Amino acid sequence: MFLSSKRLLLKHLVLLAASLVLPKRLHGDALLWQTIAQVQHDLFPASSGVPTLKEIAATTYLKRVMRETRVTQEHKAFIRNGERWLNETSQEQYHKSYTALNASQRQALLQRISKESWGERWIATLLTYIMEAMLCDPVYGGNIGEVGWKWLHHTPGKPRPSKALV
Amino acid sequence: MIYDVCIIGSGAGAAPVAHDLSNAGFKVIVLEKGPWYNEDDFTKDEVAVSRRNLYTPLLKDEQHVINERLEDGTTKRYVGSEYNWSFWNGSMVGGSSNLMSGYFHRMKPNDFKLRTVFGDIKGANVADWPIDYDLLEPYYDKVEKVVGVSGSVVKHPFAEPRSSKNFPYRRLEENKVTRWFDIACKNLGYHSIPTPRAILPVDALKRHACSYSNFCGSYGCATGAKGSARAALLNQCKAQILSEVFVYKLESNKTKITGVYYYDKKFKSHYVAAAIFVVAAQAIESSRLLLNSRNRYFPNGMANNAGQVGKNLIFSAGGAGEGRFIFESLSRQQQEELMQPGLFFNRSLQDWYEYREEGVKRKGGTIDFLFEHANIISRTTRQFYDDTGKILWGVALQDKIYKAVTASRVLTFEVFNDWLPTDDCYVSVDDKVKDKYGIPVGVIHLNAHKDDLIVGEYLAKKAVTVLQKMGAVDISYSISSSPPPNLVAGGCRFGDDANTSVLDVNCKAHELENLYVTDASFMPTGGSVPYTWTIYANAFRVAEAIHRHLKRARVQ
């Protein structure tokens, strides 16, 4: 595409620079959740007999957690910051955002951040919420059709909640 | 209106007083900070109960400051909300007794006279109780019958004397793996004890039997079988109970408490007058309330002119361990026995309640054995790391989780031994951090005596021998000086000397004529057992003393 004027060219350069320096500001929650959904797939891939992330509504469940009043603002900020730091590390190593990497690059990046304190903690946090999504009572929106309980032959305690309490 | 008795708190130390005195015709009011749940509210909701701590306050609203004494003698300050360090248990009518597992052990006769039997221990403030076991025994017996304790009495070296031949309720149904345990103990020369439980195996006491839901500890009981202060006592008495009210100050003249102030949930202040006041808000909070209640007569806090309020805070020392039984080493029948859900693993060992090692006679403790909690989310999150401590994910993690949950089961143990009271373990109030009501929060000064760890290690190693004999693998344990927030006592010691104790033999404040403290605060030492049975028993005993007090006052 040819740019029609110098002014237009400058405008595009400014926007391009901004998108490189401030990807989060431009994309906001969209990038956050796109990245987290990809990390969830990389941490808990489709596997024979194992509930899929779609069946346990893992991303939707985590979005719900981010609205809970009993989860501290600091913890929610950590989840958000982890995504930002992951993408910063991705840009630093591959000059691409996490979601633009291929599967082996993403795994390598996860391995790299898992050796850092924040990275290990962030991965454990995302895994924890995958487990919650998979094994919570379905009133919380995860574990659709009790698919997680069936996988692990788990019998829930009774009485079960009739509605979400948090 | 002037009540006969105003009780602050509604847990195991409060409910026996409310029960006996209100049913005897006295006007009793109970002021409880938490909400009032009933059986219908108690579901086995792991997310709400265990992962989001539904039954405890949010730390941003109410918290503690923890001053931990480090090995080099310095102190590190932790503001609870900043470190997510919570000392809350069950904030609700009936308190944390709603959420207990109900492992009930009596203290032993020598627990009442540790100093006399074992002598002084350097660096510890060990004191004999001003009462002995024989005096408390009838009240232990009363708890068995009124609250409801199930079990069967067996002979063992440290079995305590009993006035009733056996428990009033038979043992709960047990998992067949208990037989493996009994055989292992027999071969080792140990004495397997069926753990008494404050759980009804049959419909009784206007409550329903246990439903064997497989989710007991940490959860409220949906049948009422668990002997919580709420189900067993408050639901069956005539006391007026106000929930979601926070008592923030006691008011007094020179000799008597004249009233208490509380905030309702809209932060509106109210006043209650009564003839007698009973503080039972849980050990740390009871001391905090007294320390925050300063006036011209008690400038250092209510009943604190001798400077003893908050001192000698204790916890249960010890730790926990576990071993895993894996399908590969079991027959088909054993696998089925192992995975049987719902039934209890009620076994304890007290062979080393007192022992001698390297010429030193030591006070030992109790080891309770139980299956790993049925919470499925926490059982999977425990699989996140491999043997080297490296975090796992992907198919490797999925395989590990599947195998651990479906083809093995963990038997855990808990060690209970004395947390020796010291000068450096106590409660004060903070001069900076306040709760949502604007009241200074409690400061927990933590320090564990080195002997606590020595005894804990000794007991844990004994527990390991049982797991080994049973064929468990991946055996591990951890004995530490980390205090369990659900096993806390002391702070308002009872004793005969007003200079070294806050309360007299009947748990009435030395310095005030009408103030009693009936939660675990009174305990100079804690015994090497969970506290709840002793708290219940002592509160029934003190209820009789308050009854006499009220009768005397009416005559006058």
Q: Which residues pair with A23 in a beta bridge?
A: none
Give the closest-approach CA distance of A159 to chain B in angstroms.
Answer: 5
Half-sphere exposure of B530 (CA within 13 A, CB side): 23
Report chain B residues whose CB lies below 8 A from the CB of A42.
393-394
Cα pseudo-dihedral B296, B301, B305, B308, rounded to 10: 180
Residue in chain B nearest A73 by alpha carbon? B60
Task: Indicate the burial class of A111 (C-beta count within 10 angstroms; 0-12, 13-18, 19 or more).
Answer: middle
Q: In the prediction, which pLDDT does A27 show?
A: 57
Query: Which is it for strands B347-349 and B365-371: parallel, antiparallel or unpaired?
Result: antiparallel
Instruction: Mark yes or no for CB contact A137/B46 under 8 Å.
Output: yes
A25 against B391, higher pLDDT: B391
The string of DSSP codes covering B57-94 is: --TTTS--EEEEEPTTS-EEEEEHHHHT-------STT
Q: In the prediction, which pLDDT does B400 show?
A: 98
Instruction: Mark yes or no for CB contact A123/B397 under 8 Å.
Output: no
Closest by Cβ to A132, choosing from B42, B47, B341:
B47
The alpha carbon dihedral of B320, B210, B36, A162 has a sign of positive
Q: Write phi, then psi, for B344 (nearest 5 degrees).
A: -85, 155
The ipTM estimated for the assembled molecules is: 0.94
> Which of B37, B44, B45 is the best substitution to test chain A (most A C-beta atoms within 10 A)?
B45
3-class DSSP state of A53: helix
Q: pLDDT tens, A124-151?
A: 999 999 999 999 999 999 999 999 999 9
**Residue A142 DSSP class:** -
Q: In the prediction, which pLDDT does A28 show?
A: 72
Closest by Cβ to B48, choosing from A131, A162, A165:
A165
Q: In the prediction, which pLDDT does A19 show?
A: 39
Spatial separation of the C-alpha atoms in residues B259 and B273, rounded to whole Å = 4
Token readout for A50 is: 């194992």
Q: pLDDT tens, A91-125?
A: 999 999 999 999 999 999 999 999 999 999 999 99
Instruction: Mark yes or no for CB contact A72/B60 under 8 Å.
Output: yes
Sequence-distant (6+) residues with CB within 8 A of A14 are: none
Ranges of residues in chain B with a pLDDT under 70 are: none
Give the closest-approach CA distance of B213 to chain A in angstroms.
Answer: 5
Half-sphere exposure of B69 (CA within 13 A, CB side): 14
Give the closest-approach CA distance of A165 to chain B in angstroms.
Answer: 6
Spatial separation of the C-alpha atoms in residues B325 and B360, rounded to whole Å = 36
CATH superfamily of B2-555: FAD/NAD(P)-binding domain (3.50.50.60)
Spatial separation of the C-alpha atoms in residues B405 and A154, rounded to whole Å = 9
Instruction: Mark yes or no for CB contact B214/A157 under 8 Å.
Output: yes
Q: In the prediction, which pLDDT does B292 show?
A: 98
- Distances B17 to B234, B504, B551, B553 between C-alpha atoms, Å: 10, 17, 15, 17
3-class DSSP state of B241: strand
Q: Does A85 touch chain B (CB under 8 A)?
A: no
The string of DSSP codes covering B194-224 is: EPPBSB-SSSBTTBPPP---S--TTS--SSS
Q: In the prediction, which pLDDT does B341 show?
A: 87
How many Cβ pairs closer than 8 A exist between chain A and B?
A: 106
The string of DSSP codes covering B94-141 is: TGGGGT---B--PPPGGGGGHHHHH---TT------SS-HHHHHHHHH
Closest by Cβ to A70, choosing from B44, B52, B393:
B52
Instruction: Mark yes or no for CB contact A140/B393 under 8 Å.
Output: no
Instruction: Mark yes or no for CB contact B394/A137 under 8 Å.
Output: no
- Cβ atoms of B507 and B542 closer than 8 Å: yes
Q: In the prediction, which pLDDT does A12 show?
A: 44
Report chain B residues whose CB lies below 8 A from the CB of A64.
none
Report chain B residues whose CB lies below 8 A from the CB of A44.
393-394, 397-398
> Which of B336, B380, B382, B388 is the best substitution to test chain A (most A C-beta atoms within 10 A)?
B380
Please report the beta strands in B144-288, taking only residues with DSSP state E, as ranges in sequence order: 193-194, 240-242, 246-252, 257-263, 269-279
Instruction: Mark yes or no for CB contact A151/B381 under 8 Å.
Output: no
Give the closest-approach CA distance of B179 to chain A in angstroms.
Answer: 24
Q: Which residues pair with B251 in a beta bridge?
A: B259
Give the closest-approach CA distance of B217 to chain A in angstroms.
Answer: 12
Residue in chain A nearest B222 by alpha carbon? A159
3-class DSSP state of B329: helix
Give me the residue spans of the domains in chain A: 26-147
Spatial separation of the C-alpha atoms in residues A148 and A146, rounded to whole Å = 6
Q: Does A121 touch chain B (CB under 8 A)?
A: no
- Cβ atoms of B151 and B100 closer than 8 Å: no
Closest by Cβ to A152, choosing from B214, B384, B405:
B405
Instruction: Mark yes or no for CB contact B52/A71 under 8 Å.
Output: yes
The string of DSSP codes covering B406-470 is: HSEEEEEEEEEEE----TT-EEEEEEEEE-TTSPEEEEEEE---HHHHHHHHHHHHHHHHHHHHH
Give me the residue spans of the domains in chain B: 2-555
The string of DSSP codes covering B357-424 is: ETTEEEE-EEEEEEEPP--HHHHHHTTSB-TTS-B--HHHHHHHHHHHHHSEEEEEEEEEEE----TT
Spatial separation of the C-alpha atoms in residues B229 and B96, rounded to whole Å = 9
Q: Does B389 touch chain A (CB under 8 A)?
A: no
Report chain A residues whose CB lies below 8 A from the CB of B381.
127-128, 131
Instruction: Mark yes or no for CB contact B48/A166 under 8 Å.
Output: yes
The answer for B83, left when phi > 0, alpha when psi is -120 to 50, beta otherwise, is alpha
Q: Does B298 touch chain A (CB under 8 A)?
A: no
- CB count, 10 Å around CB of A155? 12
pLDDT band at A36 (very low <50, low <70, confident <90, very high): very high
